[in-house]
Chains A and B, each alone.
Chain A
Amino acid sequence: MQYKSQSVAKLYFIAAIGLFVAQILFGLVMGLQYVMGDFLFPHIPFNVARMVHTNALIVWLLMGFMGAAYYLVPEESETELFSPKLAVLMFWIFLVAAALTVVGYLLVPYAGLAKLTGNDLLPTMGREFLEQPLPTKLGIVVVALVFLFNITMTVLKGRKTSISIVLLLGLWGLAIFFLFSFYNPDNVVKDKFYWWWVVHLWVEGVWELILGAILAFVLIKVTGVDREVIEKWLYVIVTLTLITGIIGTGHHYYWIGTPEYWQWWGSIFSALEPIPFFAMTLFAFNMVNRRRREHPNKAATLWALGTGVMSFLGAGVWGFLHTLAPVNFYTHGTQITAAHGHMAFYGAYVMVVLTMISYAMPILRGRAANSNKAQVMEMWAFWLMTVAIVFITLFLTAAGILQVWLQRIAATPMSFMDTQDKVALFYWMREWAGVVFLIGLLVYIWSFFCKGEDKTAA
């Protein structure tokens, strides 16, 4: 570790992994509820399990991004963090807010939670992924602003690199677009329209910039390829991302009551969204092939390559599958969307955060890389989780295709619930793949405690 203040990242990484476990456990609960509807009812109803599953994911990824930024920015800027104390304080505020929110979801009925937390003052609740009560939302804004202040001041007082500037652009965008979660117009078309400005412009816009910056940083470190070369790729990826991703928002506007031209714009631009992801795959493999050093941390390199491949498959290919308006007309809101969501989130954002943790955590613990034994275990975890997510995606895709056929295309279409019964086999297989994922995650956590000969000290 080159700068003492980078150590605040450790807190964020540990909390991120903790929330990751919670996310997976609730995923397994709701996965089972797909086939055993009354499992854990009335204590944890499906809607609550789903809320915890998705919100925990978002919060732990945000924790991961923040930790990554606190690690990356001092090193890129060649200066200590502007205020490590502020970073630690924000960590605890964020963690407590997240914990209280989950407790609220689990213990209070949602409508009661809304009443309790002043949703009538400024109604923002009740929308998918943005279910958080008003105080939590405000807390996120405060934490994000203080975090951005801290990071931006660090960049301003130190060296400015393309990587830190792209990262800042992504993080500022993340904060700015979150503000649309406070805008909740009565008109349901407008409501959905701006809801996507948070949801889509995060994951298919500004988060990709964060992803690109983190990946570029780790690749410079593990491959030793010239910064100039890596930065050039980063700029190309960023430009392609913004061109395709921003107008690509249109693929959510097909059936919500917006003008018809969105079907054209959405189809054409989002059909091109795989390109930046493909560029990212080429980027990762190219840089590793041109490496000028053999970094002792093989696991981090594996995660980086995995991010390149899986983000292209999950976000690029599985997104393209159902992005064209004539296809989406049939597939909208089916299990095909769920398949895409799982692989895209894992392949792009989970994996990039784990790439950063894999690279930074050993250094934060005082060594350049973990012992060979620990790395082998981490790579096992990589393969278990990655193969499991591939199968989850395949089973959900199969369920989705069958669902579309039975419910929307067949001569005598079946009802939603009857169709769900017909695809139950795939839900069972998905659940077992989910169990394998959990095993992979446990192996991953175990690898942190695995003893063995340390490699060279950092």
Chain B
Amino acid sequence: MNSPAIADIKVHHPPGDLAIWVFILAELLAFGVFFTTYVVTRMHNVALFDEMQLTLDRNAGALNTVFLIAGSWCVARSVAAIKLDHRAASARWLLWGILAGGGFLVVKLFEYSAKFEAGINLATNTFYMFYLSLTFFHFMHVILGMVILLAVWLKAHRGGYSAADHHGLETGASYWHMVDLVWIILFPLVYVMR
């Protein structure tokens, strides 16, 4: 019997593996604590933070935001493609996502080298302690996200995912979106908001 009432019920569950969601929530909590600490500390040192913020390279930050959003879009396209069983397209979109991540890393490295050349380090002042710690912590997550996407891509490339089974792909994609989400908070918070 196919009662419409039952057919209408959609079971909602987060895409990907439950374990990655435990991990994502823990990551968001870690960044959340870091952001909160930043905000509270800034409240006590508004003048210093405002002055130092102007020394950051906002254009590089904006460019990196574009890279990560574009990357997330590519990964979303990849998931959409596999749902239609377009395996080659799905793998291709993943590769674009990884490239976007690589672009982020390159821009960030230029930014870091400019800061280090200017003699800035963790002990320069509280603002730069936060800037370097937060962005580096996130930087490492971009690398981890790329490693995960690369592993997913390797399997996708060999045709390992299909419309019926793409659990692993959604798991990797979920993690990547987290990396993007954190940056979308980090960029305005540290580079822009005054």
Contact = CB atoms under 8 A, between A and B. Distances in A.
A268 interface: yes
Interface string A267-282: 1110110010001000
A260 B123 contact: yes
A272 B19 contact: no
A272 B33 contact: yes
Contacts of A448: none
A236 B123 contact: no
A2 interface: no
Nearest to B21: A236
Contact of A268 (B22, B26, B33, B123): B33
Contact of B23 (A239, A268, A272): A239
Given A236-B22, A243-B30, A259-B122, A265 B17 contact: no
A233 B133 contact: no
Contacts of B110: none
Interface string B130-150: 100100000000000000000
Given A240-B26, A261-B122, A261-B123, A232 B19 contact: yes
B129 interface: yes
Contacts of A240: 23, 26
Contacts of A259: 122-123
Given A259-B123, A261-B123, A236 B23 contact: yes
A264 interface: yes
A264 B17 contact: no
B37 interface: yes
A279 B129 contact: no
Nearest to A276: B26
A235 interface: yes
Nearest to A279: B22
A259 B122 CA distance: 9
Size bracket, chain A contacts: 20 to 34
Interface string B112-124: 0000000000110
A279 B23 CA distance: 10
A275 B27 CA distance: 11
Given A239-B23, A275-B29, A268 B17 contact: no
A260 B41 CA distance: 14
A17 to B, nearest CB: 36
Nearest to B122: A261
Contacts of A275: 26, 29
B156 to A, nearest CB: 21
Contacts of A236: 19, 22-23
Given A232-B17, A259-B122, A265 B133 contact: yes
Interface in B14-38: 17, 19, 22-23, 26, 29-30, 33-34, 37
B35 to A, nearest CB: 10
12 contacts: A232-B19, A239-B23, A240-B23, A261-B122, A264-B37, A264-B129, A265-B133, A268-B34, A268-B37, A269-B30, A271-B33, A275-B26
Given A233-B19, A272-B30, A279-B22, 7 more contacts: A239-B23, A243-B30, A264-B37, A264-B133, A268-B34, A269-B30, A272-B29
